[in-house]
């Protein structure tokens, strides 16, 4: 296709306003004219012509370089690729009309080969919207991704070009989040202080009423209480961005994932702690839990099950307490997957919340699909529950909702997981026991199994953990005697000399005590004998 460079004079006739062109008297002067280029482009589908034109070059060399650049872009499409040829021609025509910079040849080649748009630069926000729209996961997972994108990623980095996103940009984002946390904590403290001061001002008295009014106005003008973005949330934001950028790499949109290299503070999961007598006493005094994750002792669990023995959902509380099912798994467990004759049930589904709506779903991970062995007592509890459910079915008659689930509402319909949690918390409060979450009842099941000496791999499989390390990290330090047994077993493996001497001294002392005891006993017998004659 034709293309050329040429000199051009931009001087105009003062009377007509037209360009003088070759008639300009200064045309021959050095550096008076600029250079321009024109390159014919493939015709449009309707046959109309189009071209790439650009002027204002200070030298012939600069003009020729851009003309060669345009020809290199045109050469990216194969001769037998009319679609690619049209895409590049349309791109060059738009760049020419908008006077934009010429796209890089290799970047255009990559975009053309990966099926991407050749015109325009994809921003992080545009890619995140496209990525989220293509995700095919359950609603709760999508909701979490959407929150990360809307609240954190778009406001901080959404306007940046996707292919120019760097680790430093992400470091700046997390620094800004940390700064916002500090501001939120300060504002929360100020509001709390004002509220406490207001509560301390008496109602009576003209000055007091004026003071209370001023404090109320000040409190109304303050920002409301807000939650900070904790370490776990920051890790999840990073994971969301990393997943989105990995998919961008898979589609050859970018070649580097900065989210895989940014460093942020690790999220520390709260350690589970057991409710000892000392912790219970402090809780009763202050109302504060030692940890967000608290576990009952076996005595506490027994007391709770005795307290709820007449509750309609007793079998559910019993199953979670002894076998460690998750809340959603218990709510979604069908009778068809409960083989009481063989003392087992298969976990193959769950009920999950999306906001306040409930939907049936498969377990979150492959390890969630599992067979749980049942003891005789639990089988008996489930059989009695089934009999009661059958009586309820007959009492409701045609109004009975046949969901086929083990645990249901009075009319057979689904249990709402959120309402189950609320009911559990009310029962715990009524029992007078120290508070735990419903999920902590599952923790208790794990610690009971570990305390009974069951292998950690079996405990992990029963709970549906993907790795035994999860089981060890969460549970093995909870019950004191579980940890003490491990410590004693480890200590016995090391033959310390002082331990041997201590043991020998203890044995020697025991023998001496036994000998003294026998001697004393013999003397007592001799003293009690009557003299002969």
What's the CA gap between 353 and 365, in Å, rounded? 17
pLDDT confidence tier of residue 532, bands split at 50, 70 and 90: low
What's the CA gap between 67 and 72, in Å, rounded? 9
All structural domains of the chain with their residue ranges: 3-113, 124-260, 273-489, 494-523
β-strands 357-361, 350-354 pairing: antiparallel
- Taking residues 379-387, report their average pLDDT: 95
pLDDT for residue 111: 80
pLDDT confidence tier of residue 220, bands split at 50, 70 and 90: very high
What's the CA gap between 83 and 275, in Å, rounded? 70
Q: Is the pLDDT of residue 32 over 50?
A: yes
The residue among 399, 423, 404, 224 whose CA lies nearest residue 312 is: 423
- Taking residues 225-239, report their average pLDDT: 91
What's the CA gap between 63 and 340, in Å, rounded? 85
Tell me the pLDDT tens digit for each residue of 235-260.
Answer: 999 999 999 999 999 888 888 999 99
Class of domain 124-260: mainly alpha
CATH number of the 273-489 domain: 1.10.443.10
- Taking residues 177-195, report their average pLDDT: 90
In a 10 Å sphere around its CB, with 0-12 CB exposed, 13-18 middle and 19+ buried, how is residue 289 labelled?
Answer: middle
pLDDT confidence tier of residue 365, bands split at 50, 70 and 90: confident
Tell me the pLDDT tens digit for each residue of 254-282.
Answer: 889 999 999 988 777 777 788 989 999 99
pLDDT confidence tier of residue 314, bands split at 50, 70 and 90: very high
355 is written with which tokens?
Answer: 């906001």
Of the listed ranges 128-132, 220-224, 339-343, 521-525, the least confidently predicted one is 521-525
Q: Residue 4 in contact with residue 53, Cβ under 8 Å?
A: no
Of the listed ranges 69-73, 85-89, 216-220, 511-515, the least confidently predicted one is 511-515
pLDDT for residue 490: 47
pLDDT for residue 512: 83
Looking at per-residue pLDDT, the higher value among 156 and 462 belongs to: 156
Looking at per-residue pLDDT, the higher value among 400 and 475 belongs to: 400
In the chain, the percentage of residues whose pLDDT exceeds 90 is 45
Q: Is the pLDDT of residue 306 over 70?
A: yes
Residue in this structure with the two tokens 């946390």, named with its chain if needed: 181
> Which residues touch 251 (CB under 8 Å, ≥6 apart)?
114, 116
pLDDT for residue 259: 95
Q: Is the pLDDT of residue 197 over 70?
A: yes
What's the CA gap between 320 and 322, in Å, rounded? 6
437 is written with which tokens?
Answer: 């979450």
Looking at per-residue pLDDT, the higher value among 148 and 117 belongs to: 148
291 is written with which tokens?
Answer: 């940890």
What's the CA gap between 118 and 266, in Å, rounded? 40
Looking at per-residue pLDDT, the higher value among 302 and 19 belongs to: 302
Q: Is the pLDDT of residue 392 over 80?
A: yes
Q: Is the pLDDT of residue 530 over 80?
A: no
Q: Residue 157 in contact with residue 124, Cβ under 8 Å?
A: yes
Tell me the pLDDT tens digit for each residue of 416-470.
Answer: 999 999 999 999 999 999 999 999 898 888 877 877 778 888 888 888 887 777 6
How high does pLDDT run on average in the chain?
Answer: 86
pLDDT for residue 6: 85
What's the CA gap between 309 and 313, in Å, rounded? 9
pLDDT for residue 454: 82
The residue among 166, 171, 134, 129 whose CA lies nearest residue 149 is: 129
Full DSSP string of 387-443: HHHHHHHHHHGGG-----BSS--TTSPPPPHHHHHHHHHHHHHHHTPPP--HHHHHH
The pTM of the full predicted model, rounded to 2 decimals, is 0.61
Q: Residue 149 in contact with residue 132, Cβ under 8 Å?
A: yes
pLDDT confidence tier of residue 520, bands split at 50, 70 and 90: confident
pLDDT for residue 437: 93
> Do 273-489 and 124-260 have the same topology in CATH?
no
> Which residues touch 194 (CB under 8 Å, ≥6 apart)?
215, 218, 219, 222
């Amino acid at each position: 296709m034709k293309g050329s460079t040429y000199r051009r004079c931009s001087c105009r006739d003062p009377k007509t306003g037209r360009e003088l062109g070759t008639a300009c008297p200064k045309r021959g002067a050095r550096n008076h004219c600029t250079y321009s280029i024109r390159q014919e482009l493939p015709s449009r589908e309707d046959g109309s012509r189009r071209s790439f034109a650009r002027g204002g070059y200070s030298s012939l060399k600069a003009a020729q370089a851009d003309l060669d650049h345009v020809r290199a872009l045109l050469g990216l499409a194969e001769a037998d690729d009319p679609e690619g040829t049209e895409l590049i021609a349309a791109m060059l025509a738009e760049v020419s009309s908008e006077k934009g910079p010429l796209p890089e040849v290799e970047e255009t080649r990559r975009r053309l080969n990966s099926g991407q748009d050749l015109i325009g630069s994809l921003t992080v926000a545009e890619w995140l919207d496209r990525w989220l729209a293509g995700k095919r996961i359950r609603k709760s997972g999508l909701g979490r991704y959407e929150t990360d994108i809307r609240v954190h990623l778009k406001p901080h980095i959404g306007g940046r070009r996707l292919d120019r996103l760097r680790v430093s940009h992400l470091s700046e984002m997390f620094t800004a989040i940390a700064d916002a946390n500090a501001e939120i904590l300060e504002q929360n403290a100020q509001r709390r202080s004002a509220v406490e001061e207001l509560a301390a001002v008496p109602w009576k008295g003209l000055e007091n009423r004026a003071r209370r009014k001023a404090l109320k106005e000040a409190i109304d003008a303050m920002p409301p209480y807000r939650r900070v973005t904790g370490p776990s949330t920051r890790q999840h934001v990073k994971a969301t961005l990393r997943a989105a950028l990995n998919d961008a790499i898979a589609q050859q949109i970018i070649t580097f994932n900065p989210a895989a290299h940014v460093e942020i503070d690790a999220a520390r999961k709260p350690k589970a702690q057991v409710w000892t007598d000392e912790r219970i006493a402090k809780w009763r005094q202050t109302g504060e839990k030692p940890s967000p994750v608290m576990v009952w002792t076996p005595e506490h669990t027994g007391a709770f099950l005795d307290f709820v023995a007449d509750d309609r959902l007793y079998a559910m509380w019993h199953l979670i307490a002894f076998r460690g099912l998750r809340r959603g798994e218990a709510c979604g467990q069908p009778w068809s997957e409960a083989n009481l004759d063989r003392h087992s049930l298969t976990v193959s589904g769950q009920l999950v919340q999306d906001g306040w709506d409930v939907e049936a779903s498969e377990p979150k991970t492959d390890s969630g699909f599992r067979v749980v062995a049942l003891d005789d007592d639990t089988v008996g509890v489930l059989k009695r529950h089934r009999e009661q459910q059958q009586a309820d079915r007959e009492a409701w008659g045609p109004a009975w909702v046949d969901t086929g689930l083990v645990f249901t509402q009075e009319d057979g319909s689904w249990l709402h997981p959120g309402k189950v949690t609320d009911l559990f918390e009310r029962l715990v409060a009524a029992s007078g026991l120290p508070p735990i979450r419903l999920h902590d009842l599952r923790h208790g099941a794990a610690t009971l199994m570990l305390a009974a000496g069951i292998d950690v791999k079996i405990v992990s499989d029963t709970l549906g953990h993907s790795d035994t390390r999860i089981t060890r990290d969460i549970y093995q330090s909870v019950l004191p005697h579980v940890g003490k047994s491990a410590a004693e077993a480890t200590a016995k493996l090391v033959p310390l000399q002082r331990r041997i001497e201590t043991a020998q001294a203890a044995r020697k002392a025991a023998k001496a005590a036994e000998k003294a005891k026998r001697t004393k006993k013999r003397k007592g017998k001799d003293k009690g004998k009557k003299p002969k004659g």
